[in-house]
Amino acid sequence: MRAQLLPVLLLLFVAAACSGDGPGEEPPQIVEIVDEEATPAPEPLPLPPVPDLVVDLHVDTITQIIDKQLTWDSSLLEASLPSIEVGGVNVVVQAAWIPRGAKDPRGVALRKVNGILNMVRRSRGKAALVRGPGQLEAVLRSGRTAVLIALEGGTALTEDAATLKELQELGVSMVGLTWTESSPFADSSAEPRTGDAGGLTERGRAMVTLCNDLGLMLDVSHMSDKATAETIALSTAPVLASHSNARRLADVPRNLSDDLLTAIAAKGGLVGAMFHGPFVVKGRGADIKDVVGQVQALVETMGADHVGLGSDWDGIIQAPTGLGRASQMADLRTELGAVLSPEQLKAVQGGSFLRYWKAVEAAAR
Query: 145-186: per-residue pLDDT in tens?
Result: 999 999 999 999 999 999 999 999 999 999 999 999 999 999
Look at residue 36 in the predicted model and tell me its pLDDT.
52
pLDDT of residue 2: 45
Q: Is the pLDDT of residue 25 over 70?
A: no
State residue 48's pLDDT score: 79
Whole-angstrom Cα distance, residue 262 to residue 298?
10
pLDDT reading at 54 higher than 90: yes
pLDDT digits (tens, 9 = 90+) for 330-351: 999 999 999 999 999 999 999 9
Across 10-19, 95-104, 221-230, least confident range: 10-19
- Binning pLDDT at 50, 70 and 90, where does residue 109 land? very high
Average pLDDT over residues 269-298: 97
Task: Give the mean pLDDT of 24-41.
Answer: 53
User: 0.85 cut: is pTM over it?
Assistant: yes
pLDDT digits (tens, 9 = 90+) for 307-328: 999 999 999 999 999 999 999 9
The answer on pLDDT for 19 being more than 70 is no
**Ordered structural domains, the chain, with CATH:** 55-364 (3.20.20.140)
pLDDT tens digits, 227-269: 999 999 999 999 999 999 999 999 999 999 999 999 999 999 9
- Residue 131's contacts (CB-CB under 8 Å, 6 or more residues apart) are 171, 173
Mean of the per-residue pLDDT values for the chain?
91
Phi, psi (deg, nearest 5) at residue 248:
-70, -15
